[in-house]
Structure 1
Amino acid sequence: MLAGKRVLLILGGGIAAYKGLDLIRRLRERGAAVTPVLTRAGAEFVTPLSVAALAGAPVHQDLFDLTAEAEMGHIQLSRSADLLVVAPATADLMAKLAQGRADDLASTLLLATDTPVLIAPAMNVRMWDHPATQRNLAVIRGDGVSVVGPNEGDMACGEYGPGRMAEPLEIAAAIEARLAAMAGGRPLQGRHVLVTSGPTHEPIDPVRYIANRSSGAQGTAIAAALRDLGANVTFITGPATMPPPAGVTVIAVETAAQMMTAVTAALPADAAVMAAAVADWHVANAGAQKMKKDGSGRAPALDFAENPDILATVSRAADRPRLVVGFAAETENVIDHASAKRLRKGCDWILANDVSPATGIMGGSENAVTLITADGAEDWPRMGKAEVARRLAARIAEALT
C-alpha cells in the first residue's frame, strides 16, 4: 500500500525517538521512501548516522544549511513528500505546530507545507494531560492534522498513564490509512456497519450496579477505523471511559437489555462488530430504592437472570448482516473456548483474546488477538488497539467487496 509513496519523517526529541528507527524500517519494507529530519533534541537520543543508514537517505537537520537553502531547500522538502509524519511529536513540537512558530527546520517544514500531516505524540503523562497541551491538540486537530496515539503504559520516567508513543506498526497503519483516504481509498463507502462497545451496567439499586473493566477502547478504535474506510457507522456504546469517535452515529445505552433494543433497531447493516463486553446476567430483584444495612450483618440476597444474547440474536436475525464479528474475552483455553463460542453463537468471525489480569489487556491500550474463522485461527501479534482496529477494518473491507 505504501509502494512508491514518499514520507517526510520528523523525529523529535524524546526517548521514544528510538521507535522512530523501527518506524523507518517498517515504512521502507512496505515500499515507502523515507526522507528523515532530525531535530537538535532528537539527535540527543538517536544518531544521524543510524537514521541515515536505516532510511537510505541523508538526514536533514539544519535550517541554515547554505547548500540546501541556496535553493530554498526547506520549501522543496516540505512539498516533495506525500505525507509529513512527526514521530515522536513532543509537547514542544505540538506547541509550535499549533501556534505557527518556525524557529528550526522541523517547525519551518510544518509551516511551509501544503501536504497533509500526521503526528504521533509522546511525552510525560503530566505534560500530555496539561491544559496547554490539550488546547494545542484541539487546534492541531482542527487544522486537519491526523493524530495517532498516544498509548497508555509505563514511561521511562517511572510514571504510568497516557503519553507513550504509538508503536511503529500502529503508526505505519495510520500512515497507510491516511494515504488511502487521500487517494480516495474508501472501500466501505456506502456500507452500513454496526459496532457495539464498552461495558454494560446492570443495576442493583438506583446507586449500585454490576459491571466489568472494559474501557471501550477497542470498540471505539474499530468504529474509527471503519469510519476512515468510508463506512456509515452506528456506534452503540455502554458507559465506557473512552469517548466515542467523531463522525459516527452514537447511541448511548446502559444495560444489556437497552443494548439489545438499540442493536435490533439499527438493523439492517452490511456488517456487525460486537465488541461490547456485555454482562451475562442482570439482577432480577433490583431495588427500587437504595438497599440499606439492616444491622443483621447479612448481605441482601440478589437473584440473577440471564441477559439477552445479542451476538446470537444478530447472527440468527432475519435481516442478518452479511458479516457478523464477535469477541471472546477468555482467561483460559482461549482458542478452544472462542472456537466453540463462534459455532454456538453462529457468527462468521470471532476475535479471541486472553484477558487474564497479568496481560493488562482489559482496560489497557494494547491487545493480542486471534482471528478465528471457518478457515481456522490466525494469531496477530500484540499491538496497540488502534492497529488491531485497522487490521480488522481492512479485513472487513476485503470481505464486503
Structure 2
Amino acid sequence: MDKPKVVLGVSGGIAAYKACELLRRLTESGHSVRVVPTAASLHFVGEATWSALSGQPAATQVWDSVHEVPHVRIGQEADLVVVAPATADMLAKAAHGLADDLLTNTLLTARCPVVFAPAMHTEMWENQATQENVATLRRRGAIVIEPAVGRLTGVDTGKGRLPDPEAIFEVCRRVLARSAEGQGTDLAGRHVVVSAGGTREPLDPVRFLGNRSSGKQGYALARTAVARGARVTLVAANSELPDPAGVDVVRVGTAVQMREAVLKAAAAADAVVMAAAVADFRPASYASGKIKKRDGQDPEPVVLVRNPDILAELSADRPRPGQIVVGFAAETDDVLANGRAKLARKGCDLLVVNEVGERKTFGAERSEAVVLAPDGSETPVPYGPKEGLADIVWNLVTERLS
C-alpha cells in the first residue's frame, strides 16, 4: 500500500529543532514525509538535516525543480499538512491567503486536513491580531492546536511553547485516521469544555474525601475533540496524566473550584462534557491541624454537606443558546434505571452511563457504556478503548449542534 503522504512545514522559530523529533516519529510510523521549511527556519535547522531525516529533498522556493510544479503538486498530493512550529507570521499569512514561498503556496493548494502547531512568545500569541487569525483558520476547518505553557526563549515563561512532538504526532495520527475513514473536522470552529479526574474534599491538611477517577476518559474526550478541529478547554481535577497537545488545561482540586472553572469556560462554549467524578459531599468543617488518634477514644463523626450540582446548574441555566450539555453517571447497580432517573433529574442533553467498581472503568484503558437521551434513545458503546467512547460522544454532540 502507498504510504500516507505528509507535508511537514517548518516556519522560522527557535522551536524548529523540535520538528526533527516529529519528523522521526512520522517516518518511523510508516508515513512518507516531505519537509517544506521556510527560508527563515533554515537559520535554526539546515536543509541537509531535513533531507537526511526525511529521505526526500527539502526545498523552500517555488523555483526549485520548476518542471515538477512543486508549489501546486506538493499540496495536491498530500494526505496531511502539519506546520510545526507555526509562527505568528505564518498564521497571519495562512489566514490571509498570502503565498510568497513554497510553504504558503502548499497551504493554498492543499485539499487535505491541515494542522498548525503554534509556537511564539506569550504576548504574540495573545495579541488580538493573532487570535483573529487563529479564529479565521479554525472557522475554515484548519486544526490550530493550543500552544503549551512553559519555558520560552530566554528566561520567559508562559503560554506559547510548542507542544511535545509526541503529542503533536498523536494529533496527526488521529486526524489521518479520521480522514482515511472519510470523516472530517466536524468540530472546526467550535469551543468545547471537558471536565476530567476526581475532585478531592479536604478534611485536614493530610486527608481528603475522594474517588478512584484517573481522568483517562476526560483526557480521551479532549484529545479526540482536538483531532476533530475543536478548541478545547480541559478542567482537570487531581489527574497525573500529561497535558494533551493543543488543549487549554485548567487545574482544580475541589468541587467548588471545578464549578467556578467550568462555569467560566462554559460561557463561551458550544458544548460542555462533564466527565469528571465530582464529589457529592464535602466535610462541613476543615481541621487546620491533623486530626489526632487518641487512645481509647472514637473519632468525632465527620459531618458532610452537599457540594454544588454543576451538571444540573449548567443544564438549567445555559450561558449560550443551543449549548449542548453532556453528563456522566457512574453506577454500581441498576445501571440503566438509575441512569434514566439521573438524566431526568439533571436535565442534560445526553448522559453517558457506565458500571463502575474497584476493577471496572476507573483507571482502566478500556470501558463500555450506554449513552442515554431524553427522547428515550439508547446508544450502546461496546467494550473498547476510551477514545472510541469519546468519538461516539462527539458524534452525538455534533448531530445536535448541527
Task: Tell me if both proteins adopt one fold, taking TM over 0.5 as the criterion.
Answer: yes
Identity %: 32
In 2: Cα distance, 1:106 partner to 1:147 partner: 17
User: In structure 2, what residue type is equivalent to 1:347?
Assistant: K
User: In the alignment, what sits opposite 1:238?
Assistant: 259
User: In the alignment, what sits opposite 2:13?
Assistant: 14
In 1: Cα distance, 2:355 partner to 2:267 partner: 21
Q: CA RMSD in A?
A: 4.3
In 2: Cα distance, 1:17 partner to 1:104 partner: 17
Residue of 150, 153, 156 corresponding to 1:153: 150
User: In the alignment, what sits opposite 1:41?
Assistant: 40
Q: How many residues align?
A: 282
Q: Structure 2 vs 1, CA of residues 394 and 156 (structure 1 numbering), >3 Å: closer, same or farther?
A: farther
Shift of 1:200: 6.9
Q: Secondary structure at the match of 1:238?
A: helix
Q: Structure 2 vs 1, CA of residues 311 and 79 (structure 1 numbering), >3 Å: closer, same or farther?
A: closer
Structure 1 unmatched ranges of 5 or more: 203-209, 252-262, 264-273, 286-302, 326-341, 352-370, 374-390
In 1: Cα distance, 2:107 partner to 2:141 partner: 13
Shift of 1:96: 0.2
Q: Is the 8 A contact 2:36 2:60 kept in 1?
A: yes
Alignment of 1:66-85 (within 5 A): 68-85=65-82
Q: Is the 8 A contact 1:223 1:245 kept in 2?
A: no
List per-residue Cα deviations over 1:18-70 (Å, max 9, x = no partner).
110000110011100000111111111111111111111111112222xx224
User: In structure 1, what residue type is equivalent to 2:23?
Assistant: I
Q: Secondary structure at the match of 2:158?
A: strand
Shift of 1:349: 3.6
User: In the alignment, what sits opposite 2:97?
Assistant: 100
Shift of 1:104: 1.5
* 1:126 is aligned to 2:123: yes
Q: Structure 2 vs 1, CA of residues 311 and 282 (structure 1 numbering), >3 Å: closer, same or farther?
A: farther
Shift of 1:396: 7.0
Shift of 1:227: 4.9
List per-residue Cα deviations over 1:133-171 (Å, max 9, x = no partner).
101100010111012231111112322221111111111
Q: Structure 2 vs 1, CA of residues 318 and 154 (structure 1 numbering), >3 Å: closer, same or farther?
A: same
Shift of 1:322: 7.3
* 1:137 is aligned to 2:138: no
In 2: Cα distance, 1:163 partner to 1:7 partner: 24
Alignment of 1:2-401 (within 5 A): 4-65=3-64, 68-184=65-181, 196-197=195-196, 221-227=219-225, 238-240=259-261, 243=265, 249-250=271-272, 274-276=275-277, 278=279, 281-283=282-284, 304-305=303-304, 314-319=331-336, 323=354, 343=358, 347-350=360-363, 392-393=386-387
User: In structure 2, what residue type is equivalent to 1:104?
Assistant: D
Q: Is the 8 A contact 1:14 1:122 kept in 2?
A: yes
In 2: Cα distance, 1:198 partner to 1:77 partner: 43
Q: Secondary structure at the match of 1:239?
A: helix
User: In structure 2, what residue type is equivalent to 1:243?
Assistant: A
Shift of 1:280: 5.7
In 2: Cα distance, 1:198 partner to 1:349 partner: 10
Q: Is the 8 A contact 2:83 2:115 kept in 1?
A: yes
List per-residue Cα deviations over 1:69-117 (Å, max 9, x = no partner).
2442210111111111101000000000011111112112112332321
Q: Secondary structure at the match of 2:133?
A: helix
In 2: Cα distance, 1:316 partner to 1:227 partner: 31
User: In the alignment, what sits opposite 1:294?
Assistant: none
Q: Is the 8 A contact 2:5 2:32 kept in 1?
A: yes
User: In structure 2, what residue type is equivalent to 1:170?
Assistant: A
List per-residue Cα deviations over 1:284-324 (Å, max 9, x = no partner).
89xxxxxxxxxxxxxxxxx8516589999524452276755
Q: Structure 2 vs 1, CA of residues 228 and 27 (structure 1 numbering), >3 Å: closer, same or farther?
A: same
In 2: Cα distance, 1:139 partner to 1:224 partner: 22
Q: Secondary structure at the match of 1:8?
A: strand
User: In structure 2, what residue type is equivalent to 1:348?
Assistant: T
User: In the alignment, what sits opposite 2:189?
Assistant: none
In 1: Cα distance, 2:334 partner to 2:98 partner: 56
Q: Secondary structure at the match of 1:348?
A: coil
Shift of 1:240: 2.2
Q: Structure 2 vs 1, CA of residues 195 and 155 (structure 1 numbering), >3 Å: closer, same or farther?
A: closer
Q: Structure 2 vs 1, CA of residues 99 and 239 (structure 1 numbering), >3 Å: closer, same or farther?
A: same
In 2: Cα distance, 1:218 partner to 1:159 partner: 31
